[in-house]
Structure 1
Amino acid sequence: MAWIYKWLPIFFGCHCRPERSFYYRGRQFPVCARCTGELTGILALLLTWIVWHPDAVPSLLLLLPLVLDGMIQLCTAYESKNIRRLWTGILFGYGLTNLLFLSAAWVYHLGYAAGLNMRNI
């Protein structure tokens, strides 16, 4: 369990600020609310990819709530609550991971098609 608290914040680049983190039984989560959402979104995509996944454009749209929330907080005095950070993180994690998987699939298919064309030369 100690390695999760050490490596998860490094992997996500998380600031781990106490006021922006969830707590369970008095213990702070290893990452903040937004990074917890991103991790949840990543895991949700891994569980649903084979059954269903959106195309690239809807996936790009899933990134917008986090970007907008972060920019609004950066440019104004507004401070979002942890539940909003969690949901924007879930959408972002799901969308970004889906884009990663889609791009890997596209590259595979392009490489496969190129390989077939090379055989026909």
Structure 2
Amino acid sequence: MTKIQFVDCHRLPERSFFYKGKQFPMCARCTGIYVGYAIFIPIIFFFKINIFIALLAIMPTTIDGITQAYCKRESNNILRFITGILAGFGLAGISDFIAYYIVVSFKFLYHLI
């Protein structure tokens, strides 16, 4: 039976980027996720992302992370970063989807009162 475990990769030098000799405080994948948030959250104000496309965008990161953790496969920082950006895009889209339906629900409840 395979046990799901937390993989702490943030402080591993081989999984982090360096700038001017200083290691980033997070791994390349999480750096990509934050870059994806920064790029796509402003875009969401103008363009809505289909929930299925958002879920699909998260899949490369999921596949890369799971195959690296459980299939004895080693990824590289560029792949981690790119799939992280896609995940940031997908997570921003899912967050927008959830926020929209929370607002719609509250408007509906407000009109019932």
TM-score (normalised: structure 2): 0.85
Per-residue deviation at 1:65?
0.5
Point out the structure with the larger strand share.
2
Task: Mark the runs of 5 or more structure 2 residues left unpaired by the alignment.
Answer: 1-7
2: distance between equivalents of 1:33 and 1:92?
12
Point out the structure with the larger helix share.
1
2: distance between equivalents of 1:46 and 1:59?
13
| 2:60/2:83 contact within 8 Å kept | yes
Q: What does 1:29-108 align with in structure 2 at a 5 Å threshold?
A: 29-108=24-103
Runs of 4+ in 1 over 2 A off after TM superposition: 13-16
TM-score (normalised: structure 1): 0.80
Tell me the equivalent position of 1:18. 13
Task: Mark the runs of 5 or more structure 1 residues left unpaired by the alignment.
Answer: 1-12
1: distance between equivalents of 2:78 and 2:48?
24
2: distance between equivalents of 1:53 and 1:36?
24
Identity of aligned residues (%): 36
1: distance between equivalents of 2:74 and 2:48?
32
Tell me which structure has the larger Cα radius of gyration: 1
Give SS of 2:73's match.
coil
2: distance between equivalents of 1:17 and 1:85?
14
Q: Residues 46 and 14 of structure 1: is their aligned pair in 2 closer, same or farther, counting only changes over 3 Å?
A: farther
| 2:9/2:15 contact within 8 Å kept | no
CA RMSD of aligned residues (A): 1.5
Q: Residues 78 and 38 of structure 1: is their aligned pair in 2 closer, same or farther, counting only changes over 3 Å?
A: same
Per-residue deviation at 1:14?
6.0
